[in-house]
Structure 1
Amino acid sequence: MIGLRSRLEPDMHTAEERFPSVLLSLEEYAKEVDTSGDEDGKQYQVLEKYLHGLTNKDISKFNLYEWWEEEGAEVLAFRISLPDPVFVSDITFDEVAEIVRRIKEYDFSNAHSGTFAADFQNYLDNYYHDFLKLNFPDAYRVKLFQRNRAKDGSYFEYPIDEIISALMGKLNKL
């Protein structure tokens, strides 16, 4: 695992600062809906406006209605709290390789350190996919990271080196 330049790394410090407020607002919204309902969606709009003001993110891409059926309040709060990735015009091959590796291979080395970053490192996948979409809009395709079916009916996954080549524009066949 190589370190990335700070502007490429997820801003875990900001996420950690925002996290308690985001989590509390999600939990309060859930309690309010359980108690009084939100048939007209006004409470949802208040929550969405608050979270947008706190994070400056498009909150409509998050499922605020039924988070308990997905990954839970803590993971949703983390995903909302984490600042969006940025465009980087001078990204290197090694940096792309590291980001692809982070998506494809989970690193267990910090899994039990008890830090905020370690607690949520397993949920950075969306961040890295968004980073690649932003920085490689013509080359990024989610199928590069998924199980695919070959013409003969067998299944395969693209190896890391082919994903990197596709993103960097060296492979056009994928």
Structure 2
Amino acid sequence: MTVFQVILGRRSIRKYLDKPVEDDKLLKILEAARWAPSSRNSQPWAFVVVKNEETRRKLKELAYGQDFILQAPVVIAVCSKKGSNWVNLGLTMQNICLEAYELGLGTCIVGWFDREKAKELLGVPDGWEVAYLISLGYAATSPKSTRKKLEEITHWEGW
């Protein structure tokens, strides 16, 4: 699969199969995250990998009942040094999602949850914050996606 095929194929997955994610795949995904670019090579991220069902259940409640967080066999909490630019997190999360897709897995980035309570639940130290959650697992469905036409969003030499 080419990078372009991965980019075109990846979708946000909210329904997962009851099948564990192999550790070698999980480690490869985390390695891809580690190699994301960051401003001034600051690498201002850390990851908390959650497989425990009870902890995922609590994260689901902190995410206002979004069921797929519990249904996914893995949730990755993407943490950031306080005060760092979250654009860097977008780069590492894109690496996570694209590598997961290439390995036959689905993901969904979650930004709507109680960050302070998630920080407490996961034991994230002072100076760090839980910025996003990413559900990870084998997709039960492959939703369709639509995009605007390139001509609608591209302007050459000015607007």
When the two structures are superposed, what TM-score results if normalisation uses the length of structure 1? 0.28
Which structure has more strand as a fraction of its residues?
2
When the two structures are superposed, what TM-score results if normalisation uses the length of structure 2? 0.30
Which structure has more helix as a fraction of its residues?
1
Whose radius of gyration is greater, 1 or 2?
Answer: 1
Using CA pairs below 8 Å that are at least 6 residues apart, which structure has the higher relative contact order? 2
